[in-house]
Amino acid sequence: MSEDKEAQENELLALASIYDEDEFRRADTAQGGEMQLCLELPPDFKLLVKGVSVTLSEKTAEYNVCFLPPLVLNFELPGDYPSTSPPMFSLSSKWMTKEQLSSLCQRLDELWEENQGFEILFTWIQFLKEETLGFLSIQSPLEISEQHFSASSPLDPRAVVLMDPNSDPLPQLLDFDEAQRQKAFDSKVFCCGICFSDKLGCNCLCFKGCQHVYCNTCMKEYFQIQIRDGNVQCLNCPEPKCTSLATPSQVKQLVDDELFARYDRLLLQSSLDLMADVVYCPRQSCGTAVMVEPDTTMGICSACQYAFCTLCKLGYHGVSHCKITADDLRNLRDEYLSATPEGQKFMEQRFGKRVVQKAVEESFSRDWLKENCKNCPRCGTNIQKVDGCNKMTCTSCKQYFCWLCLGVLSKVNPYSHFNNPASPCYNQLFHGVDVDDDEFWSDEED
């Protein structure tokens, strides 16, 4: 008994000296302890998920992982170990099936039978860490389904599945993988690509999309400048031509609360700006985001109840034309015509295809009228001069007027305007007109 007790104490002390507290924890009241055994996965190891955390549009999904939760070996050494009895133990896991754990338990029993009378814990630990994947024929992708944790027959009671079969294991597995990756990253040394200083990973930021690494000091200053300038969509990796973006959680870790609140607000606003069915209430005191129904130009603010036209931003005017300036209409037309097919589709969704097409046509019509017509000085009707002299007759109110200076002409003698030396249009009845000597001019042809 004294020899067994001495062997047990030496074995437990050896375990404590080899493994850190995260891997081995000795029991307080008994000769035993707990081993956390992380298996080394091959490169590009994947989880294949079926029926768990998969959307209705997907039947399966794959996830790359570098770490899986450890196998947990709990053991207690009886008084006659190692001379006669083996350790009492249980084996548990968050991702293995009960069948797999039972097979491992049986293999541990076999190893004891082969080495009875000698300390066995190191042999067990070595087998579990180095040979488990091969022994169980576990390969990538590792399939996890709804039936993964349910046992169909009585199995070894020492095999313990730590995952509730009715719960979703995927978030726990991915969270563990993320935590272990971060732990490994924090302990490595990286050279910042901006200040070229060597720093531990715990003092650096790694862009998830590209894995480029920069120190927190440089990235904090970079984020602060961009957010203050309102460029919240430009918090991308500083590497040339790299388009990876920092995540909101990474930004929050580096900037103060006030700056992050500004970043969060501007990011939401920029995201809403990209939505075709969202506009903002035009009231300066409001500015609330408003959802707009398809194929309509009416928006109703949920905050202040203001009903407005989404095109001209004035009070809603039904089917009446927008009171929009010619410059605004021209800008809308130019923006639409110069946009990509995707950009044109976005504008059609935001304003309505009929509204945009009508705006384009109306803008072209206004430009044509401006270039080719003049307004009657009496009623304002657009008048086009096709041919003839510069004495014009309004087609609407029949008023005579001068095409050159738009002056109103006498009904009795309209040509006196061109014959009076004091008139600004003296002798300019046919100014700008190619006169044919054989053509006869009359008032009726004006």
88 in any annotated domain:
yes
Give residue 445's identity as a one-letter amino acid code. E
CATH of the domain at 303: 2.20.25.20
Q: Specify whether the CB–CB gap between 404 and 390 falls below 8 A.
A: yes
Per the structure, the count of domains in the chain is 4
The pLDDT tens digits of the residues spanning 232-252 come to: 877 889 998 888 888 888 999
Segment (H or E) for 144 = strand 142-145
Question: For the residues 44-64, what does the mean pLDDT come to?
Answer: 69
d(CA 401, CA 71): 99
Same domain, 25 and 110: yes
Tokens read off for 91: 């084996």
- Categorize the per-residue pLDDT at 25 as very low, low, confident or very high, splitting at 50, 70 and 90: very high
CB 359 within 8 A of CB 333: yes
> pLDDT tens digits for 264-273?
888 877 776 6
Average pLDDT over residues 186-206: 93
Establish if 183 belongs to a structural domain. no
Mean pLDDT is highest, among 71-80, 297-306, 373-382, for 71-80
Same domain, 211 and 173: no
What is this structure's pTM? Answer: 0.54
Both 220 and 311 in one domain: the answer is no
According to the model, what pLDDT value does residue 123 have? 95
CATH number at residue 85: 3.10.110.10
Instruction: List CB contacts of 129: < 8 A, sequence separation 6 or more.
Output: 37, 38, 39, 40
- Residues 12 and 132 both lie in one domain: yes
Q: Is residue 202 part of a domain?
A: yes
The last residue of one of the domains, among 341, 370, 399, is 370
Residues 269 and 316 in one domain: no
Task: Note whether 81 and 194 are same-domain residues.
Answer: no
Whether the pLDDT of residue 65 is over 70: the answer is yes
Neighbour count for residue 155 (Cβ, 10 Å):
17
Is the residue at 378 inside a domain? no
**Same domain (yes/no): 156, 60:** yes
pLDDT of the residue at 387: 79
Structure confidence at residue 444 (pLDDT): 45
User: Which residues of 276-394 form beta strands (DSSP E)?
Assistant: 278-280, 289-291, 298-300, 307-309, 373-375, 382-384, 391-393
What per-residue confidence (pLDDT) applies to 306? 87
Report the pLDDT value the prediction gives residue 201, as an integer from 0 to 100.
Answer: 93
- Alpha carbon distance 413, 197 (integer Å): 93
Segments in 140-215 forming alpha helices (H): 170-186
CA separation for the pair 192, 196 (Å, rounded)? 5
- Please tell me the predicted confidence (pLDDT) of residue 236: 87
Confidence of residue 153 (pLDDT cuts 50, 70, 90): low
State how far the alpha carbon of 330 is from the alpha carbons of 112, 177, 299, in Å.
88, 56, 23
As annotated, the active-site residues are 389
Span 309-357, pLDDT tens digits: 877 777 888 777 666 666 666 777 777 788 888 777 776 665 656 666 7
Chain center to CA of 421 = 75
Retrieve residue 410's tokens: 């006498």
User: Domain check: are 168 and 71 in the same one?
Assistant: yes
169 shares a domain with 193: no
Write down which residue in 309, 344, 370 finishes a domain.
370
CATH code (residue 249): 3.30.40.10
| Rounded average pLDDT over 175-201 | 92
Q: How many CB atoms lie within 10 A of CB 353?
A: 13
Q: How far is the C-alpha of 66 from the C-alpha of 178, rounded, in Å?
A: 9
Mean pLDDT in residue range 39-65: 73
Regarding whether 19 and 154 lie in a shared domain, the answer is yes
Q: How far is CA 61 from the centre of its chain?
A: 20
In a domain, 377, yes or no: no
User: Same domain, yes or no, for 131 and 219?
Assistant: no
Least confident of 149-153, 155-159, 358-362: 149-153
Residue 380, in any domain of the structure:
no
Over range 107-130, report the average pLDDT.
94
Q: What is the pLDDT of residue 111?
A: 96
Dihedral angle sign, alpha carbons of residues 98, 100, 106, 111: negative
Which residues form the domain of 216?
Answer: 188-273
pLDDT level of residue 12 (50, 70, 90 thresholds): very high
Segment among 55-59, 65-69, 144-148, 228-232 with least mean pLDDT: 55-59
> Do residues 317 and 330 lie in contact, with contact meaning Cβ atoms separated by under 8 Å?
no
The residue-averaged pLDDT of 160-184 equals 84
Q: Are 28 and 77 in contact, with CB atoms under 8 Å apart?
A: no
Is the pLDDT at 445 greater than 50? The verdict is: no
User: Would you say residue 182 lies in a domain?
Assistant: no
Residues in a beta bridge with 34: 25, 74
72 vs 323, residue with greater confidence:
72
Query: Are residues 43 and 149 located together in one domain of the fold?
Result: yes
- What does the mean pLDDT of the chain come to? 83
Confidence at residue 159, expressed as pLDDT on a 0 to 100 scale: 92
Inside any domain, residue 306: yes
Per-residue pLDDT band at 78 (split at 50, 70, 90):
very high
Tell me the β-bridge partners of 191: 198
